[in-house]
Chains A and B, each alone.
Chain A
């Protein structure tokens, strides 16, 4: 028997030491993995196990300033597949494809994806209720119909450019839907649970539900009624003048709140896919830039008055042109306006008169006012795609540029800039930031969470200047180029504009103008400023003829709707062969019908009923109507006073 030698014992002992070292090392490694790296590995592993099933938040509604709904969500079910639960993918794909009218092969590919859940895109997204019920009735394992919603715009294309639209996942893509997407969309909620490698729920795994946070309701400064009035007027203008486009902006001049805004051509937000992208991408009132024309003279006038460079009573002679640095700048009226006061210069929109005002101001002053009124920079309205416009760079402004700028040529501005600037001129001199966002409302509690306060950018002119300009502009409407905007009792002030369009070659186009009118009322305390521009109307191309009546209609209907009281002390409409005087309706109630007939009363009477005494009349006594408007009288035997 060979005994175990010492060498062997020694070797075995070394082996023992090595073995102990090996296991000691492994114990150390285990400790490192579990005790040192454990936390980090846990976090990484949680990501692996965690599965989230999303719960979509409800997108906030958009309301007008009177809480009238402009857009909301309507239920629109969506088909969801949980691939691991589908027992017979081929059969399932065939059934679904038939009912959703989708290609079977594509459905099969989607429902066999190695994902926790899939949507059948796009055929199974936002399907009609009947289809959804049919699918639910089939009870296919692994196929579920889940609640989804789609954006609904109950008023069709109303305020389309302001509201914008959303995509298939209810994400804002344009307009306010995009600008305020984050707050409208809310926060997705989800059910989280731990899952095995196939996505099946782990037994005993914790399930946590984080509820979705619904989006907030956005209340706009827009007034749906005013918006509707404007849209109606724009549609009519499109019909009547067949222009390339029409745009209109209505703003509260004191706050910068936009009450209505729109343009033609337009689109339907829920059918934006069918519309020309150039239509929905171009929000003309903030995007379009062009030479403003005579509406810009308001700025020159305000600057000149503020700097005391002119007295409206001062006289001015217009020979029909003015010579500037050797160039003859002509007045729009052939032969000129002759001898007139500066007030008449404004009423007549006389170019040489405004050139003189520009010259008195000098280029530094005039351009500093133009900038202070916000031209050449974005107004900051809460919409995407706003343009800045273009001004002459100060170095390049010579006498001719100064002169043309003074009457609105050679500058390029946006409609919203003009509205904001004119609002500043007439509201006492404060340049307000135009905006659409008014309030944010918690949809559950109905509480206002946030209110947007009017933001003043700067004070540009004094209250006194503002008052003078208002008076002058009221005069323009009563006596000058803006007569077609005159509304009895509302003291409309305003200014026409006829802007030449610049063609692709950089020259002015012939017989292609943007005619515009900016009007406000009442002149003593302006509540509304309205700007309308019609691009290339067929036929007459004068702002006073085309745009002024549109502004008048918008102002008239809006002010009545706003219950703005009529004024008594307005500048009366100047009589011309073409205007009809406005007269007050006499009180006929209680009078004997024969007496009326025998009097020298000239109004046309329409008699209703029998009897001798007038018991009622329409229009009512004291109401102001155009001369020649028939008066209906209702006859009876008793004097109404006896009742």
Chain B
């Protein structure tokens, strides 16, 4: 191991090009749409609740600004630092994931103990863990690239690390974040060149495991069956999906106009977080919501282009991981609210209200931008 550690070097060369402008443009567009939609979706009840219709919008702008600042900082760091920080970062995150589970320390919000801190100044360790896993797995898979074909030595260790993180997140429980984390890990392991035979086997195990998790919590079964036919139980398990479809459907091609959503008026739970895409579809129609999907598609394309054109394997895997993390989360969220996937509590990156999560995601984009500067054209 030590040999390969020496062998592998972090990129030392000077950046060859400017950061990927399309990614920056897409991110800024998404952030703008996000702030507007957070305002529109939350204005009514934030006025009701806090006496300030801009309550959520202002915070979203603040965290967006903070996130962009962090993104710029990260994009200018020496890439080798990521390589070096990956191990301690992972250890810290594991520690935090354990600490957050302690009642009285971890804050219980929405039925999950996933927050640390006080009030507004709280963070979700699971968000940091996603980033830490990307960095650490990139490093691990780069170091063990020659063994990736081996199930025991190449595949099991990264899987074990990701699985451990996943297990801790599921104890909160937070199936959404856990799924994104595992999905990201799988994208990276796949990209690193694991054998298809192994991956398919793992896929089977994953399906069985996921089924087990679903069966363990009755509400998850209800969500799955509700997704297949929400009108079976319109006031129970099917409620959220139906309300989401009642928002998106009437939006039609052009939408009802900014601020005109009806479903945000207490019909849709948390219209400014998990269901912001529904309100977007209702107010801005297929054109608006479709634009957001196209912007995420741009991220898929440019993000993986950074991965493909990265100068070294570590950078490739980090870029793939970051891209995977963002678009898997976006894909699941959009799939859920349009009724393509079962309902899972998960936010839409850049658009949903959420302080630490937004900042973290932007820092991850910072990584991507950083690496894009070293692209080999």
Segment 217-263 of B: residues with Cβ below 8 Å from A: 245-246, 248-253, 260, 262-263
Q: Verify A42–B250 contact, CB threshold 8 A.
A: yes
B124 at the interface (CB under 8 A from A): no
Per CB-CB distance, the 7 closest pairs between chain A and chain B, nearest first, are A41-B249, A196-B265, A19-B300, A197-B266, A45-B246, A42-B250, A16-B304
Q: Verify B304–A27 contact, CB threshold 8 A.
A: no
Q: Verify B301–A16 contact, CB threshold 8 A.
A: yes
The interface residues of chain B lying within 8 Å CB-to-CB of A8 are 191-193, 313, 316-317
Q: Verify B300–A20 contact, CB threshold 8 A.
A: yes
Q: Verify B304–A12 contact, CB threshold 8 A.
A: yes
Segment 289-317 of B: residues with Cβ below 8 Å from A: 289-290, 293-294, 296-297, 300-301, 304-305, 307-308, 310-317
> If the complex has contacts A33-B339, A41-B250, are A12 and B262 also in contact, measured as CB distance less than 8 A?
no
A15 at the interface (CB under 8 A from B): yes
A19-B304, A26-B335, A34-B281 are known contacts; what are 6 more A-B pairs with Cβ within 8 Å? Answer: A12-B307, A23-B297, A30-B281, A33-B338, A34-B285, A48-B246
Of B10, B260, B310, B340, the contact of A4 (CB 8 Å cutoff): B310
- Cα distance, A11 to B148, chains bound together (Å): 13
A138 at the interface (CB under 8 A from B): no
The interface residues of chain B lying within 8 Å CB-to-CB of A44 are 246
| Per-residue contact bits, chain A 25-42, to B (CB 8 Å; 1 contact, 0 not) | 111011101110110111
- Cα distance, A31 to B335, chains bound together (Å): 12
Q: Verify B293–A23 contact, CB threshold 8 A.
A: yes
- Cα distance, A44 to B245, chains bound together (Å): 10
Q: Verify B249–A15 contact, CB threshold 8 A.
A: no
Residue numbers of B with Cβ under 8 A of A are 7-11, 44, 142, 145, 187, 190-193, 245-246, 248-253, 260, 262-263, 265-267, 281, 285-286, 289-290, 293-294, 296-297, 300-301, 304-305, 307-308, 310-317, 320, 323-324, 327, 331, 334-335, 338-340
The interface residues of chain A lying within 8 Å CB-to-CB of B193 are 5, 7-8, 11
- Cα distance, A448 to B351, chains bound together (Å): 66
The interface residues of chain A lying within 8 Å CB-to-CB of B317 are 8
Q: Verify B249–A29 contact, CB threshold 8 A.
A: no
The interface residues of chain B lying within 8 Å CB-to-CB of A325 are none
Q: Verify A42–B249 contact, CB threshold 8 A.
A: yes
Q: List 11 A-B contacts (CB under 8 A).
A: A1-B11, A4-B311, A12-B191, A15-B187, A15-B190, A15-B304, A22-B327, A33-B245, A34-B281, A41-B246, A42-B250
> If the complex has contacts A8-B191, A19-B304, are A34 and B286 also in contact, measured as CB distance less than 8 A?
yes
- Cα distance, A5 to B194, chains bound together (Å): 13
CB distance from B280 to the nearest CB of A (A): 10
The interface residues of chain A lying within 8 Å CB-to-CB of B246 are 41, 44-45, 48
The interface residues of chain A lying within 8 Å CB-to-CB of B267 are 48, 196-197
A203 at the interface (CB under 8 A from B): yes
> If the complex has contacts A2-B314, A23-B293, are A12 and B308 also in contact, measured as CB distance less than 8 A?
yes
Interface of A is mostly: helix
Q: Verify B145–A203 contact, CB threshold 8 A.
A: no
> If the complex has contacts A23-B293, A33-B248, are A16 and B300 also in contact, measured as CB distance less than 8 A?
yes
Interface residues on A, range: 35 or more
The interface residues of chain B lying within 8 Å CB-to-CB of A209 are none
CB distance from A354 to the nearest CB of B (A): 74
Which A residue's beta carbon lies closest to that of B248? A33
CB distance from A15 to the nearest CB of B (A): 6
- Cα distance, A541 to B7, chains bound together (Å): 132
CB distance from A441 to the nearest CB of B (A): 44
Of B260, B263, B320, the contact of A12 (CB 8 Å cutoff): B320
The interface residues of chain A lying within 8 Å CB-to-CB of B191 are 8, 11-12, 15
Residue numbers of A with Cβ under 8 A of B are 1-5, 7-9, 11-16, 19-20, 22-27, 29-31, 33-35, 37-38, 40-42, 44-45, 48-49, 194, 196-198, 200, 202-205
Interface centre among A1, A26, A34, A38 (most CB of B within 10 A): A34
- Cα distance, A284 to B361, chains bound together (Å): 86
- Cα distance, A154 to B308, chains bound together (Å): 94
The interface residues of chain B lying within 8 Å CB-to-CB of A25 are 340
Which B residue's beta carbon lies closest to that of A49? B262
The interface residues of chain A lying within 8 Å CB-to-CB of B262 are 45, 49, 194, 196, 202, 205
The interface residues of chain A lying within 8 Å CB-to-CB of B260 are 204
Interface centre among A25, A30, A204 (most CB of B within 10 A): A30
Q: Verify B266–A4 contact, CB threshold 8 A.
A: no
The interface residues of chain A lying within 8 Å CB-to-CB of B311 are 1, 3-4
- Cα distance, A14 to B305, chains bound together (Å): 12
Q: Verify A26–B293 contact, CB threshold 8 A.
A: yes
Q: Verify A34–B253 contact, CB threshold 8 A.
A: yes
CB distance from A36 to the nearest CB of B (A): 9
The interface residues of chain A lying within 8 Å CB-to-CB of B293 are 23, 26-27, 30
Of B250, B290, B315, B320, the contact of A30 (CB 8 Å cutoff): B290
The interface residues of chain B lying within 8 Å CB-to-CB of A5 are 145, 193, 313
Q: Verify B192–A38 contact, CB threshold 8 A.
A: no
Q: Verify A31–B290 contact, CB threshold 8 A.
A: yes
Q: Verify A2–B249 contact, CB threshold 8 A.
A: no
The interface residues of chain B lying within 8 Å CB-to-CB of A23 are 293-294, 296-297, 300, 327, 331
- Cα distance, A293 to B1, chains bound together (Å): 123
Q: Verify B327–A4 contact, CB threshold 8 A.
A: no
The interface residues of chain B lying within 8 Å CB-to-CB of A14 are 190
CB distance from A310 to the nearest CB of B (A): 79
The interface residues of chain B lying within 8 Å CB-to-CB of A204 are 260
Which A residue's beta carbon lies closest to that of B269? A197
> If the complex has contacts A31-B286, A38-B251, are A26 and B245 also in contact, measured as CB distance less than 8 A?
no
Interface centre among B250, B260, B315, B320 (most CB of A within 10 A): B250
